[in-house]
Chains A and B, each alone.
Chain A
Amino acid sequence: MGAEAATPPGGAEGGAVSRRALLAASAVGLPVLLAACKGVRALGTPPPPAPNIIELRSAIAAEELMLARYAATLNLLRSQPAGQPPRLEPAIQAVHVEHAAHALQLKARLIEPAGSALALSPTPTPSVSAGPAGDVTAQVGALEQAEQAASDRLISQLAGLPPSLAQLFASIAASEATHVSFLQAARRVR
C-alpha cells in the first residue's frame, strides 16, 4: 500500500485533517445524528403486530361484544319476567359467565410489545341496544345465530396460530356451538 492511499481524500497531510474534509464529513453524518436525537420514533413506525395478535384481538373483541349482547338480553328479560320460559334467564346467565371466562383466557394470552400500534389504541367497551322492544324470543334467536357464527369464525382462524392458542380457539369454538343448542332447549321449556 503506497503513501497516496493512506492520505484521506480532501487533503490531510502529515496526520492533520483539512477543514474541507471535516465539512464534508459533517454533511454526511448530520442526518444520522439528528435521527438519533429524536429517539426510536424517528426510525419509523412500530412493526405491524404478528398475525396471531390480530386474531387474538379480534377474538377478544368478539367476546366483549357477546358479553354486551347477553347483558342487554338479561336486562330485557328482567324487565319483562312474566310469561318467559323459566329456564331462559338462568341459561343466559350461565352462558354469560362462560363468555366472561373466554374473554379472560384470551386476554391472558395477549402479550403485545410496548408501543405497538394496536397496543396504543384500547378497544372501547361495546354498547349494544336491547334490540326490538319486548321481543325476548327474537333477541335470544339472534344470540343463537351469533354463537354459531362465532364458532365457525374461530375454526376458520386456526391456520397459522401457535398450537396452544389454536387449542384454546378450538375449545372456545366448541363451547360457543353448545350455547346454541343450550339456549334452544331453554327456550322450549314452558
Chain B
Amino acid sequence: MTGSAGHALAALQDALAAEQAASYGYGVVGARLPQGSAAQAVAGSDWVAHLRAQDRLTELINARGATPAPAAVAYHLPFPVDSPAAAKTLAATLEDRVAAAYLGLVAQPEPELRRLGAEQVRAAALRAEAWRGSTQAFPGLPEASLRR
C-alpha cells in the first residue's frame, strides 16, 4: 500500500472510530433525556445517522481490502452525564469530535474522500448547533491550527 493510500485508510479508520464512539455516546444521551421528549426523538435520529455513517465507512474500508476496526465494548465519558443538560452537552461534544475526525478525510487528496469528509463535517456541525443552541466559527478545527 502506498503512503497516500495508507494515509487515506488511516483517516477512514479514525472517522469510523469517532462514529462508533458517537453511537455509544448517543445511547447515554438518549437514556438521560426525558422519556418520549422531542429531544429524545432527535437523539434517536442522530444515533441512526451515525450508524449509517459507520456503514458507509465500513464499505469504503472493505473496498480498500482492509478490515474495519471493531468498536470498543465501552467508552470513557468525558464528564459525568447525570442530567438532561449534561446529556445535550455530551451530544454536542460527540459531534465536535466526529467533525474533527472527518477533517482528516478532507486532508486526503482523493476528491471523493475529501467531499465525503466535508459533507460529514457539515452534518456534524449542524447537529452540534442544534444541541448547543449556538454556532462555532471553525467546527472540528483545533485551536492550535488557527493562525494568530
Contact = CB atoms under 8 A, between A and B. Distances in A.
B103 A181 contact: no
A95 interface: yes
- Interface residues of chain A: helix, strand, loop or mixed (majority): helix
Chain B interface helix/strand/loop/mixed? helix
Interface residues of B, number: 32
28 contacts: A94-B134, A95-B135, A98-B136, A101-B137, A105-B138, A109-B147, A155-B118, A159-B114, A159-B115, A163-B107, A163-B109, A166-B106, A166-B118, A167-B106, A169-B118, A170-B106, A170-B118, A171-B139, A171-B140, A173-B118, A174-B118, A174-B122, A174-B124, A174-B139, A175-B135, A178-B126, A178-B135, A182-B129
Nearest to A163: B107
Interface string A155-170: 1001100011011111
Interface of B: 99, 103, 106-109, 111, 114-115, 117-119, 121-122, 124-126, 128-130, 133-141, 145-147
B129 A171 contact: no
B103 A155 contact: no
Interface residues of A, number: 31
B66 to A, nearest CB: 21
A69 interface: no
Contacts of B111: 158-159
Contacts of B147: 105, 108-109
A143 B147 CA distance: 27
B140 A174 contact: yes
Given A105-B138, A182-B134, 15 more contacts: A98-B136, A105-B146, A105-B147, A155-B119, A168-B138, A171-B99, A171-B138, A171-B140, A173-B121, A174-B140, A175-B135, A175-B139, A177-B125, A182-B135, A185-B133
A158 B114 contact: yes
Nearest to B139: A174
A142 B18 CA distance: 35
A172 B138 contact: yes
B7 to A, nearest CB: 10
Nearest to B141: A171
A139 interface: no
B145 A164 contact: yes
Nearest to A185: B133
A158 B137 contact: no
Contacts of A178: 125-126, 128-129, 135-136, 139
B114 A168 contact: no
A138 B130 CA distance: 23
A151 B128 CA distance: 17
A180 to B, nearest CB: 9
Of the listed residues B108, B125, B130, the one surrounded by the most CB atoms of chain A closer than 10 A to its CB is B125
A137 to B, nearest CB: 20
Contacts of B114: 158-159, 166
Given A166-B114, A173-B122, A179 B146 contact: no
B137 A170 contact: no
A160 to B, nearest CB: 9
Contact of B141 (A95, A168, A181): A168
